[in-house]
Amino acid sequence: MTKYALVNSRITLNKRKSILGFDKRGLQIVLQEDPQIIDYLKKAGYTFIDETNYCLMPSFVDSHVHLCGINPLLKSCLEENVKLNEISGVFCVRDCGSPTSYLDNLKNHQNGNTTLLTSGRPITIPNGHLSYIGRIAQSRSELEDAVMETHNSGAGFVKICASGGDYTFGGNPRVTQYSKDQLRIIVQSAAKLGMKVATHAHSTKSILNCIDAGVHSIEHCSFLDEGNSTDFKREYLEMMAERGIYFVATITENGYSLKKCRRFNRERIRKYIEYYSMLYKTAIELEVPFILATDAWGKGNRYGGFGDMLTSVIVDYGLSFKDVVKASTETPRRMMNEFGLEDNRKGFLVLEGNPEINPDSFQKVKCIIPDITSYL
């Protein structure tokens, strides 16, 4: 069997050359160019090919998904959804809420290339966002018990719905569900158990409550008022930057592309993208730890679309290549480490073309390769 080594392929955000060794089974090895390594590969029978049309980069991290679906009636398939994510280059996933019946499968799933961090059932109010799969809690004792139940279930972190949301019957993302005092009870209870807290928050009031309570990540962070408009507060982002609170932006399939969106008319999605482009760029400018995620949950927001999303935030939202790569690899990996998932550097990707020149290359994952530590 002939084995090949590609030389001169580009490493994303790194000007050094690389060597990629692979055979008919797929890419096998990734190494920085080094005379000793070249000599080793020559002795091992590798044929060298000069190839400049490929780009090497770390695998992606999707920090906000629902791998088993947020609707129990969808009967989502965990294995299939993980495989779809891996094909798009996602090897590390944070599941932000799934039904109890799926939690054991989630936390025990370490097959293939993917590592998972899971919250299990989110904490919410009666008839609140995700109440059909969540733990209902409002009083101090109920909130403390809900955190303990989350810990005892084997979940890796706590997820709480600080505001309402879209994908719940009768839900309203502009409604604030918990006060800062209630959220602080959650944060303090979780801290005693060594757990971090992620909060779903769309409304501006709920975002401030989360900041004051000391949560570790704010999901969505949309800055919506109680009426029918936005209520952006730059000073809140400044507070998040100062306190190191992660901003996990969820670019859903229904909202991330002018070309692909079918849910709203073109003018509405244009205004949507214009607003969120401003919000994301401001967060990056203020050095808020900023993360891009898909919020994939199944029907209507598919798994496996991570590369499409990255292309769109460059083409449609105007984020820079460097910021997009950082928000999909480096920053989420740091957050995952802080949340307790240490083994999250699994894999590298070989992309066809150069995504810095052509963002569509994010969608062209040609090969997936294990971490080099597997071979040394």
Each residue's pLDDT tens digit, 27-47: 444 455 567 767 777 777 776
For residue 24, the model assigns a pLDDT of: 40
Do 65 and 53 have their domain in common?
Answer: no
Check residue 71 and report its DSSP letter: S
> Cα–Cα distances in Å, from 96 out to 54, 103, 106, 373?
34, 11, 11, 29
Count of CB atoms situated within 10 Å of the CB of 163: 28
Query: Residues 371, 333: contact at Cβ < 8 Å?
Result: no
Do 16 and 136 have their domain in common?
Answer: no
Per-residue tokens: 364:
């062209």
DSSP string for 128-160: -TTTTTSEE--SHHHHHHHHHHHHHTT-SSEEE
Report the chain's mean pLDDT, rounded to a whole number: 83
Residue type, 258: L
Do 68 and 51 have their domain in common?
Answer: no
Question: What CATH number does residue 44 fall under?
Answer: 2.30.40
CA–CA–CA angle 146, 150, 155 (5° rounding): 165
The reply to whether 49 falls in a domain is yes
Could you give the 3-state DSSP secondary structure of residue 312? helix
The reply to whether 367 falls in a domain is yes
Do 112 and 66 have their domain in common?
Answer: yes
Do 363 and 283 have their domain in common?
Answer: no
For residue 372, the model assigns a pLDDT of: 46
Do 213 and 224 have their domain in common?
Answer: yes
Average pLDDT, integer, range 172-195: 97
What is the share, in percent, of the chain residues with pLDDT greater than 70?
A: 75
> Cα–Cα distances in Å, from 269 out to 205, 279, 298?
24, 15, 21
Could you give the 3-state DSSP secondary structure of residue 176? strand
Question: What CATH number does residue 136 fall under?
Answer: 3.20.20.140
pTM of the full structure: 0.87
The reply to whether 343 falls in a domain is no
The reply to whether 8 falls in a domain is yes
Look at the chain and report how many structural domains it folds into: 2
Do 191 and 133 have their domain in common?
Answer: yes
Average pLDDT, integer, range 157-174: 90
For residue 216, the model assigns a pLDDT of: 98
Instruction: Name the residue range of residue 7's domain.
Output: 3-57+348-374
Query: Residues 257, 307: contact at Cβ < 8 Å?
Result: no
Do 220 and 330 have their domain in common?
Answer: yes
Residue spans of beta strands (DSSP E) within 225-330: 246-250, 290-293
Do 100 and 153 have their domain in common?
Answer: yes
